[in-house]
Amino acid sequence: MRDIRIFETHAHYDDAAFDNDRDELLNRLADEGYAYVINVAADFDSVETTYDLTTKYDHVYGAIGIHPDGVKELNENNFQHLREMALRPKILAVGEIGLDYHYEDADKDLQKDWFERQLILARSIGKPVIIHSRDACEDTMKILRSGVAKGIPGVVHCYSYTAETAKELLKMGYYFGIGGVVTFSNARKVVEAVEEIPLDRILLETDCPYLAPTPHRGERNSSLNIPLVAEKIAAIKGVQYHKVLEQTYKNARKLFFNK
């Protein structure tokens, strides 16, 4: 693998799950061909810790944003701080932002308001977005079809909706983050979506420490499991494994570095 470049587009290495071996693991990734790792913030604590990781490791970059579960933290004062952090060196995107209606107590109106505000932030600073959408397909699509999201490039992280919805998102120009879920035995919908999505619109991700692929399901996930995801995508698409790594690397470079 040392001659292959891998771009991990969604990780949470500031999570406490990595407290015992974070430095060892991140250095190992650099040694094994992981040219880029994007650590993605979700709340204000992780905004700070994400930025700290970008300053410590050459191959670690960041995304700054507030996850829908954390938008109750947001107000006008700290939103300005979020903007300032998003402008810092090595911050490649605004994220993860979006909607999550999985829990019954989700404040849908508040989530939609701050999703739109963070989309506007991304446009104002010229950076792409990393979108989280869980059990909220209809409202997510309404916002992405609206003028507030027009022209903002981005990726739908951990894509979990149908192939038909993927077709609509493709027309809008979005990329799709595919991780360990695609290897699960009950992931028929995700597999069908990957069949539909062109390889030049797929990004590799782990969402580690969560969502470890088979055969490690239920264990702590890390970017070292990306080859398992790439192998599954290669099988679905009927292409060589190396082709998946090469093309997804190019895709991520294009989205996050415009290169």
- Tokens representing 228? 């398992």
Residue range 85-126, pLDDT digits in tens: 999 999 999 999 999 999 999 999 999 999 999 999 999 999
Residue range 180-215, pLDDT digits in tens: 999 999 999 999 999 999 999 999 999 999 999 999
For domain 6-257, give the fold.
TIM Barrel (3.20.20)
- Quote the pLDDT of residue 4: 78
Q: Cis (ω within 30 of 0) for the bond into 96?
A: yes
Cβ atoms within 10 Å, residue 224: 18
Sheet containing strand 154-156, edge to edge, reads 6-11, 34-40, 60-63, 91-100, 129-134, 154-156, 175-178, 202-204
Residue range 124-181, pLDDT digits in tens: 999 999 999 999 999 999 999 999 999 999 999 999 999 999 999 999 999 999 999 9
How confident is residue 259, by pLDDT bands cut at 50, 70 and 90? confident
